[in-house]
Structure 1
C-alpha cells in the first residue's frame, strides 16, 4: 500500500459549540491528500493541516467538471468507541462514479487507511451530543492541466472533515418539498446515478427558487416530468395503505446509502417495500383518497426527513397532518441508535476506528 505520512498542525483551531454546528460550516484541523499520475500510480499520500490546495489553472476539474465526492459520517458512541457507518458502501459507490467520469479511484486499502489516519488525527472534532456527527467528504478531482477534451491523467484524492448537527433548520420536524416541473436534475444515460459535482450545479437554480418560495428541497421528476426520481439531497419513500414505495434505480437516481439501509431494515421487518416506478400523479391521487400515510426522504446528511407538505401545480398537499409519521420515526430511531451504539448492530454496519 502507498505509504502515508503525517504532518500535524501546530495551531489547532478551537472547537465550535455543539449546539451551533449547522451543516458543513466548520472544518477540522487536518485533511488527507493523495495524488495519482498515469504511469506512476498513487503517491504522496499524507495527512496535513487543513488549508488551500495548489492547482494549475488549466486543471481539468476547472474546465470539464471532473469532480466526484462521497458523504459519510463517523460517530462517538456512548461508551467512547468511534465508529464509521458503512464505509465500504461509500467506497464502492465512489469507484463506480469514478469509472463513469473517467477518474482514477484509490485502492480500497488506501481509502480506508486514509480515513483511519485523518480521523485519528482529528478525533477531538467528533461531537457526542444527539443528532451530531463528524461528516466525512471524500473527494476526487481531475488535476492534469490541459485544454483538450479528454479524461485527466492525474487525480487528486481528498478527505475533508466537518462536525455537523441537523441538516435542515427544521431539525427532525417535517419539511416542505417543491415539485419541480421545469428544470431537470438528470437524464437517462447521464450522471444522475453518480455523486458528481455537476449534478449539484444543475440542481442549484431550482433549489434556490424553491427556497425563495419557502420550501426546503426540490422533488425531481424524470424527463417527462411524470416519474418521481429523488429529492435534492435525499432519496424518497412513500407509505401507502398496502405498500411502501421508493423509485427504482433507473440510471438517473443516486443509489443512496441510507436508502439501502432503510430497505434492509424494512425487509428485516417483513414490511411490503417495493422499488418501482412511481409517478407524481399516482402520489397526488392516493393523497386525495387518503391512501398516503406518510412520506420521507433518506440521506447521510439528514438520515430520515419526514415530508409534511408537497407542493404540486400550485397546491400544497399536506401529508399526515404535517406531523412525523410512525414509520419514519421508527426508522430514524433505529438507524441513529445503531450509529450511537444504543442498539445492537445486527446488520454489521459499523466499522470501529483503528487508532494510529
Structure 2
C-alpha cells in the first residue's frame, strides 16, 4: 500500500537544502511521537517509524520520492546570535565579555516557496497498518526543519499530484539526508545524552543524491545582474577592455568565497567539501588551484545597446552558473555570492577604484 506524507509550509522554509530532506521529515515525526499523547500507543508508533526508516535499505522497499514546488533562496539579510555549546566548533571560541558566554552568528537563510507551498514524500509499498499510525503522528507535527518552519502535515495512501516536479535518487543532483536503519535509536539517544558526553558514533542518516524530472528547457540558470556605480551614479567601461572589468570581479568572488562557506557549511565535517565546491563553482578551480574543465560561474560584461546610452560601453555585469541545473547547493552558492557582492568595491592591483557593485 502506498504512503504519502503531505507537508504544507505556512511561512517558508529556513533549511539549507531544497527540497527538505527526508531525514528532516523523519526527525519531525520522531519529535511528535515523543510527546505525551503517544504514551498509550508507543509500541505501534515505534514499529511504524522503524518501518519508515528501513525504506530503501531492505528488500522490497524504496527510498522516498519527493514531489516539491520550486523555491528561491532568500538572501540572508539578518544574523542571529545563539549560544555555542560545542567544545570543538569553531576551533577558536570567542567569549562574549559582557554576557560571559560564547555567541556565534548564524545567518538567517530561507526559501520562498511557490504555491501551493506543499511538499509530498511518497513511498510506494508500505503495509496498510502503518499508514493510519503515521497519519496520527504526522497530524501532530507543528514544524519540519527548524522551529520557525511551521507546517501542517497529513498522511494518506493517495499519490502526489502527477503534474508536479518529482525528485528521485540519481547519480548527480542535490545531496539530501535520508534516515537509515537505527535512526530512531539515534534520535532517542541524542535526546537523552548529556551535553558533556562524547558525540554519538553514528548519525542515523545517509546522504543520497536526488535529481528532479524537470525538463531541461524549464530549468533556470542561476543568474544575477549587478551594475557598476561610482558616487551614486552609474559608470561605464570601454567594452574593448573586458579584462579591466572581469579581473576585479573575479578577485571579489575569491574574496567572498570564505564567507559563502561560512553561511552554507553545516558544521566542521561539512566544511572541507563545501570549500571545494564553492571554489569550483565561483572560481572554476580545483583544490590545488588548477582550472577545471566543468562549467562554473561565468562573468559576462553587458554592453549598453538599448536605453538612453546605446553606446556599447559596459555598465552592468551578469554572473551565470551554467552548470548548476537543479543542484540546490550550487544555486545556494551563487545566490549567497550575489548577496555578498552587493556593495563591494572593485580593486585594481589592491587599490580601491571607487566603483561598487549594486543593483
The TM tier, using the shorter chain, reads under 0.3
Question: Which structure would you say has the larger Rg?
Answer: 2
Task: Calculate the TM-score normalised by the size of structure 1.
Answer: 0.26
